[in-house]
Amino acid sequence: MGAITVDKADHLYWLGRYSERVYTTLKLYCDGYDSMLDADEDFYKALCVMLDIPNIYASREDFLQRYGYDRQDCNSIISNLARAYDNAIVMRDEIGTETLGYIQMAVYSMDAAVASDAPVILLQKVVDHLLAFWGCVDDQIDGYCIRGIMKFGKRVERLDLYLRFHMDPHEVRRIYHRMVPRARESQLPVNRAAMEALEGYMSAPELDYDGALGALMGILHV
Amino acid sequence: MHDICKEADAINEQLARYGVKFGIYKNGEFREQLFPFDAIPRVIGAEEFEYLEKGLKQRVTALNCFLQDIYTDKRIVKDGIIPPEFVYASSGYLPPCEGVRAPKGVASHISGIDLVQAKDGAWYILEDNLRVPSGASYPLIARGLCRRASPETFRERKIVDNRDYAQLLRRTMDHVNVGGDNVILTPGRYNAAFFEHSYLAELTDSVLVTGSDLFVENDFLYYTDMGGQKCRVGAVYRRISDEYLDPMSFLPESVIGVPHIFDVYKKGNVAIINAPGNGVADDKGIYYFVPKMVKYYLGEECITHNAPTYLPYYPEDMKYVLDKFDEIVIKDVAEAGGYGVVFGNKLTKAQKADMLALIKAQPRRFIAQDVIDFIDIDIMENGERVPRKADLRAFVLTGEDVTVWKSGLTRFSRDPDSFIVNSSQGGGFKDTWVLSR
């Protein structure tokens, strides 16, 4: 097998990011859905702030429909899954048909959820396929660098989301420490100054979420 | 014996899981469609395949001789076997290829030969595809799933394992590789056959690239890895048409090709699979002359049979076309994929008059063929076996030797009234079993 081209590295990285974005936001969406049933009808407004997306939704119902399943809404979960698929489908030769199959099945499960009268219960299948996808990445992809790039993307995305959600600092730092070795393994040209700045934020007694997020956004110019 | 047809849904579900699709543009919009698989196989006995194998090897060998000859010595034209206008008026004839000898004498490394079987059992060649024939990946991936779905079937019958296609292809690429990586050049994910491009890249351990990944420097072809290092390319299995391959030599508006790749090829610094210019040999007009090529280059009688074909270019054939219009099929030589095929008896009076006028005005543009009443093969539809028209694309790989893949793509029409089996026209596919005894 030859080397990985720049474009392919880009696709692998974003495949990692988008699949993680779908996974984490799906869990958030399902929790929010539950909360909005009877506890806090306007919870979606806070979710929009947490996700750093414009609140274009007219109501709770509008949010639940469009943020989940509207292909025209570029921030929706289904759109992010489509982006994961777009990056995966061109990587069959690197990640393998078996691994790609799990992203394909996540897409089918999402389509089935959209067509259902009870979509939320079916979203669990999307989550299952994404988890299986990452299991397959570990099990089937021999290329250290290929796996490293995807996992680096995954960890960057999770850290990005956790910083936006102002998650517990211990949890954020745990994710950060899982991301650092992936940066090395990916062999991507990481911006050292940004990495050092991020390290500084992570080791400070008080976590500056916005500062850390800014540094994170600068670690890779992809 | 276990009935594999009972597992058809499970197999199709797995094919969907693995993204076995083809792309199609309808009303200007790209859509991916699953390629429906029918579990009733086409079965070819050992003796019958032996005959086909012999004939196909002979045919492809002659076609390779023709391709070498036509861009160099042109003996076949000089000796009056093929009229020059059939060569030079062909849209597949590429003047820039003049004087270029394909490395190791192989221009058509992967040939897709379309055949049908008539009701009397005789096989007829419908067309030779020597540019970028696609379709091997479908029976290849389906076979693995069929074996899982119905192991008894494969234990109890002597079916030759067809899962060696990737090795055969890899060997073919390695044979002509001039030093460097093997790459598969795809127009991109919106190409109809992108599944196949990416799947074969995976199986052959080749690098899947688009035109923008490749560049020419000092007469060599490279791509750049993510660390900025240049990686030399030794063989390009290109899945884009000749005209788009190199904007400096062919269509200048091509944005999916690689500037100057043709110069590198001419200097012998990269192999291109299949060679540029092959279109002249799989032109529907040239098809008529293939049996003559076999005789001319190999001194043998042609084993395979062409469908009875008429060239309106010749006055006697024009007369036949006019007399028998309602019984023949007309094919536009410039079209492919089931397009440009007209059955005389399906036209209205006005359409018939228009078509005849067109044939008279541009006789070189069309060929006519007797309609072969080819055999139906059963497919399953709504739980019942129903007969449908089907063809067979056989794959012949030419490297150090000529090998006929012991399988093939059987395509069928889902429309009971149609002879057109192309996937782009709604058809499905079957596995092709070759029996070892």
Domain ranges of chain A: 18-141, 143-222
Question: Over 90: is that where the pLDDT of B23 sits?
Answer: no
CATH topology of domain B308-370: Dna Ligase; domain 1 (3.30.1490)
355-414 of B, contacting A, C-beta below 8 A: none
B207 to A5: CB separation less than 8 angstroms, yes or no: yes
Confidence grade of residue B1 (pLDDT, cut at 50, 70, 90): low
The nearest alpha carbon in chain A to B194 belongs to A90
Give the pLDDT of residue B165: 98
CB B390 within 8 A of CB B376: yes
Residues 6+ positions from B196 with CB-CB distance below 8 Å: B134, B135, B136, B137, B138, B239
Name the token pair of B387: 């007969």
In this prediction, residue B337 has a pLDDT band, given cuts at 50, 70 and 90, of low
| Separation in Å, CA of A18 to nearest CA in chain B | 19
Sort out which chain B residues have CB atoms less than 8 A from A188's CB and list them: 226
Decide: A159 and A149 in contact? Cβ < 8 Å: no
Q: Please state the separation of Cα A176 from the chain's center in Å.
A: 15
Q: Among residues 211-240 of chain B, which lie with CB inside 8 Å of chain A?
A: 212-213, 223-227, 229, 231
Residue A177 DSSP one-character state:
H
Query: B-chain residues within 8 Å CB-CB of A5?
Result: 207, 209, 213, 223-226
Intervals of chain A under pLDDT 50? 222
- Optimal mutation site among A93, A105, A111, A146, interface B, most CBs of chain B within 10 A: A93
Tokens of B79: 């000796």
Range 151-170 of B in CB contact (< 8 A) with A: none
The three-state secondary structure class of A168 is coil
CA–CA gap between residue B60 and residue B130 (Å, rounded):
9
Between B52 and B422, the higher pLDDT residue? B52
Helix A192-203, helix A209-217: angle, nearest 10:
160
Q: Which helix (H) or strand (E) holds B389?
A: strand B384-398
Longest dimension (CA), chain A: 56
Supply the pLDDT for residue A2: 64
Q: Which of B108-112, B327-331, B367-371 has the highest mean pLDDT?
A: B108-112
In this predicted structure, the answer to whether residue B203 has a pLDDT above a threshold of 80 is yes
- Structure-block tokens of residue B168: 């055969």
Name the residue type at position B139: P
Q: A112 and chain B: CB distance < 8 Å anywhere?
A: no
Rounded Cα distance between A128 and A123, Å, is 9
pLDDT at A147: 95
Residue A97: list chain B partners with CB under 8 A. 18-19, 141, 199, 202
B201 touches chain A (CB under 8 A): yes
pLDDT at A222: 45
Mean pLDDT of chain B: 94
Question: What pLDDT sits at residue A142?
Answer: 84
Do B95 and B350 contact (CB within 8 A), yes or no? Answer: no
pLDDT digits (tens, 9 = 90+) for B386-430: 999 999 999 999 999 999 999 999 999 988 887 777 766 778 999
The two counts, helices (H) then strands (E), for chain B are: 14, 21
Note the pLDDT tens digit of each residue in B278-322.
Answer: 999 998 889 999 999 999 999 999 999 999 999 999 999 999 999
Residues of B in contact with A8 (CB under 8 A): 226
Which chain B residue is nearest to residue A90, measuring alpha carbons? B189
Check CB contact under 8 Å for B213 and A3: no
Give me the pLDDT at residue A39, please: 85
Residues in chain A: 222
CA dihedral over B94, B98, B102, B107, signed as positive or negative: positive
Residue B334 has pLDDT above 90, yes or no: no
